[in-house]
Amino acid sequence: MAILSTPLQYINSVPPVTRFFTAATLASSTLYFWIRWTNPSALVPYLIMVPGTSLFFPWTFATSALVEISVIELIVTLLVVPASLSYFERLWGTVETVKFIVVCVTGPNIIAFAFNWIEFVATRDTELFLYGMEYHGQMALFISLLVAFTQVIPEHQVQILGFIKVRVKRLPMAYLTFSTIMTLFGLQCPYILIQFGWFVSWIYLRFYKRNVSDTLGGVVTYGDRSETFTLTSWFPPFLHTPLSVLGNTIYKLATRFHLIPTSVPHDIESGSYSQVPGGARAEAERRRALALKALDQRLANPSSGSPSGPSQAQSSRPSTAAPAPVQNERKLSPVEMDVADTSGPDEERR
């Protein structure tokens, strides 16, 4: 009885959304395997998203993610996605997890559907772009989970295959590079969903995800406007300027037409940015990343920082004849406090 109760206890410990999503993936993939086994040449447009028939089966924009067309894809999905979803369901709650799954699955599928129709209009190739593409699987959701991990624990180090060590914030772009290579080799379906999934998940987490922060007394905020989660942080420095101009222009237009929900201002320097839900560990990782970035900027521009060194510290002491009043003393931001804490206590002024 104890042996039989162990799997049941494990299943009961899995959050409900993750449990239902995993069971639906198993059921849908098994149904697809059975249909293709009985009729290998059958097209299954009511389970997977085919651009030429999806308007007649609109539910496939969401349910196609539940279908894996090979045993290897199904095994990889079951090893990676349920564990990640379980982590975020405990972090975000049931409702926010469901919204994240729906947005990060249907959004990339809709973009892929429109992209295929544009390709069809340009080439008039019906067999390839309307009926030759069968979008399926959870690649878009997988890249979305990597983006979410980058938001919560960017500096956390993981070990891949037992010997490859890499930080979490490097994983999405590595997966995105793999998607680009596979797409250029002609495997547009389903690898292009990785690129669309990255973009949709970043927009959702950056501007639209609803947060309730305990540090702000339960105030509802939307998205994550911190400097460590900007669009330019994903790309090399030489692309920062054009991306900043493009991003700021689109953001102003979206704000003017009220496409972005209003939220509490996220001013990092004033210390009023909202913490991402996830407890002390997640917040410590984010504050560590901000502190390291501020320290790098200070080391790169030593002239703009405060004076340091024995001679400068001694010259800054007030004389005994006439103590000089302190004017325009600037308060340290939370980021600078984190950096200052690592350098030890300051000398007490006379």
Coil, helix or strand for 95?
Answer: helix
Residue 280 confidence (pLDDT): 47
Q: Which residues pair with 166 in a beta bridge?
A: 158
Coil, helix or strand for 157?
Answer: strand
Count the Cβ atoms, other than its own, within 10 Å of residue 28.
Answer: 19
Q: What DSSP assignment string belongs to 312-328? A: HHHHTSPPSSSPPPP-S
Residue 292 confidence (pLDDT): 73
Does the N-terminal peptide bond of residue 277 adopt cis geometry, omega within 30 degrees of 0?
Answer: no
Q: What DSSP assignment string belongs to 42-74? A: ---TTTSB-TTTTTTSTTHHHHGGG--SSHHHH
Q: What is the rounded CA–CA span in Å between residue 31 and residue 183?
A: 28
Q: What is the rounded CA–CA span in Å between residue 230 and residue 75?
A: 34
% of residues, the chain, pLDDT over 90: 43
Q: Which residues pair with 211 in a beta bridge?
A: 221
Count the Cβ atoms, other than its own, within 10 Å of residue 237.
Answer: 7
Q: What angle do CA 14, 20, 22 make, to 5 degrees?
A: 80
Residues contacting residue 40 through CB under 8 Å, at least 6 positions apart: none
Residue 22 confidence (pLDDT): 94
Closest-CA residue to 190 (of 102, 105, 261): 105
Average pLDDT along the chain: 79
Coil, helix or strand for 31?
Answer: helix
The H-or-E segment that residue 253 falls in is helix 240-256
Tens of pLDDT, residues 163-205? 778 888 889 999 999 999 999 998 898 899 999 999 999 999 9
Residue 258 confidence (pLDDT): 85
Q: Which of 143-147, 254-258, 342-346 has the lowest mean pLDDT?
A: 342-346
Which pLDDT band, with edges at 50, 70 and 90, does 9 fall under?
confident
Residue 299, pLDDT > 70, answer: yes
Residue 295, pLDDT > 90, answer: no
Kindly list the structural domains of the chain, giving each domain's residue range(s) and its CATH number in brackets, ordered by start: 2-208 (1.20.1540.10)
Q: What is the rounded CA–CA span in Å between residue 153 and residue 147?
A: 10
Residue 314, pLDDT > 90, answer: no
Residue 186 confidence (pLDDT): 87
Residue 18, pLDDT > 60, answer: yes
Alpha-helix residue ranges (DSSP H) falling in the chain = 2-13, 16-38, 60-63, 71-92, 94-123, 126-129, 139-152, 171-184, 188-203, 240-256, 279-300, 310-315, 334-341
Look at phi and psi of residue 278 and say left if phi exceeds 0, alpha if psi is from -120 to 50, else beta. Answer: left
Token duo for residue 272: 């009023």
The H-or-E segment that residue 213 falls in is strand 210-213
- The single residue listed with the structure tokens 């290897």 is 72
Token duo for residue 21: 């999503």
Q: What is the rounded CA–CA span in Å between residue 149 and residue 167?
A: 11
Which pLDDT band, with edges at 50, 70 and 90, does 251 fall under?
confident
State CA 5 to chain mean position distance: 36
The more confident residue out of 163 and 253 is: 253
pTM greater than 0.85: no
**No. of helices (H) and no. of strands (E), the chain:** 13, 4
Tens of pLDDT, residues 48-87? 999 999 999 999 999 999 999 999 999 999 999 999 999 9
Which pLDDT band, with edges at 50, 70 and 90, does 40 fall under?
confident
Residue 267, pLDDT > 50, answer: no
Q: What is the rounded CA–CA span in Å between residue 156 and residue 134?
A: 36
Residue 285 confidence (pLDDT): 60
